[in-house]
Structure 1
């Protein structure tokens, strides 16, 4: 990857059809997971590369060739709400056909997370980040929320490129047994979740839609103290994926070169 000769012109040409990577961490993960990044900008190349040396030395050389320095006022015009790390980039969205092929392939090495009609962009991003961390096959959303919205990508720290993320209707869900989280379901502690499962979670406000509930093969509940009404969506996904992994599910192929980045994005 190399920086374009005129990064501002390239940005304006590509912005409407590209994925916004807002912040160093989003760009770092996109590069690690082989996203196509045609343009990346920062008002301070030295600071950005120093950050790379500290947190992600495995991508430092790539970012050195990719990052273009622009004046701060230009940077803020391109990214109205810039991340504190003052780095932004545009990436090519992965092929929908390729993602659908990945989601449909069976047997799968890891479950697919299904968010049924989610409402909160930040929650959706957090779930994608979790799914990538656990090595889930993908994240599917039903309903009107765009899982590639810039706020979702920011919440996911660019880890959309580490798993297959696609919006689908309920009748288009990939094959596999549907384990839907519901307070009336069987306690998850007594179940083994198969690798090819679809793990379905209802919306933050109204729970599972009647359509998804009707196609569920199993209703599953999380342990919860009486009089506590619910968990946050991302917390529920984390608990469920941890239960799957604790029974022998994998979490990818090991650490990324350069070591783990434990700082929050």
Structure 2
């Protein structure tokens, strides 16, 4: 007969990690955990190979979450920490969090009126670029980031690139036919110069992959094609750079497009 489990006994973080890992979001490093806590993530377990160093980082860089970290972080041997994560982070901190429900994210994406655009990555290929875009979108206060195609926007490499800021915006994968409501502005070299119009707050901003551009399905659905200024003979910008330029243009200009701009046909 097994001994009864004492509910007051301390939880073994390694056993908890191994039990929860497959169904949880990996927060890889101090900064990912810091951001996730700031934006309300439900953190199930957090470990570090050097608790004193992690709390010192909190004192220096994130005193607002220091108390949470003090209660969450459990120190484990360095070899144990390294065995729990695919790529040990320089800060020797890792945590598991509950992924926001798809229903909650879809409701946030579909809610109107919106006060900030939705970013769409059409068939992205690079996990790190997708993470960088989510970090940008969170920084600009975008409503969310949607991917189409096969890339999982919650892949651990994407979350690592996003520095835990998936919890600061709505991140989901959808079909083109399922995109949130709002005027769809797609970035394309054949589009109108973005400097000639103001992007509305309810815009859906779509970006194709660096190699193949927009998919025919998304291009056909676009209400407007926009182009970023670019020197002749330069092939393209990095995806995250394109998103940054577009979100900055939205934040710097604001407001809805004029009637003449809104009526321009898609070429």
TM-score computed with the length of structure 1 as normaliser? 0.92
Task: Give the number of the structure whose alpha-carbon radius of gyration is greater.
Answer: 2
- Structure 2 gap ranges (5+): 1-9, 256-267
Alpha carbons 2:200, 2:254 under 8 Å: kept: no
Name the residue aligned to 2:103: 97
TM-superposed CA distance for 1:120, in Å, is: 0.1
SS at match of 2:43: coil
Give the superposition deviation at 1:45.
0.3
Alpha-carbon contact 2:201-2:254 (below 8 Å) kept: no
- 2:124 aligns to what? 118
The answer to whether the 8 Å contact 2:27/2:94 transfers is yes
For residues 15-54 of structure 1, the C-alpha deviation after alignment (integer angstroms, 9 at most, x for no partner) is 0000000000000000000000010000110000000100
Q: In 1, Cα distance between the equivalents of 2:18 and 2:164?
A: 21
CA contact (8 A) 2:198 2:254 kept: no
* Distance in 2 separating the partners of 1:80 and 1:217: 42
Which of 215, 229, 240 is the matching residue for 2:235?
Answer: 229
- Give the equivalent residue in structure 1 for 2:208: 202
Question: Following TM superposition, where does structure 1 have runs of at least 4 consecutive aligned residues deviating by more than 3 angstroms?
Answer: none
Measure, in 2, the Cα distance between the counterparts of 1:176 and 1:248: 16
Are 2:200 and 2:250, in contact at CA under 8 Å, matched by a contact in 1?
A: yes
What corresponds to 2:167 in structure 1? Answer: 161
Residue 86 of structure 1 corresponds to 92
Number of aligned residue pairs: 247
The yes-or-no answer on 1:41 pairing with 2:47 is: yes
Counterpart of 1:190 in structure 2 is 196
Q: Distance in 2 between matches of 1:136 and 1:43?
A: 35
In the aligned structure 2, how far is the partner of 1:248 from the partner of 1:222? 17
Task: Please state whether the residue corresponding to 1:212 is helix, strand or coil.
Answer: helix
- Backbone CA RMSD of aligned residues: 1.1
State the 1:247 CA deviation.
1.0
Gapped regions of structure 1 (runs ≥ 5): 250-265
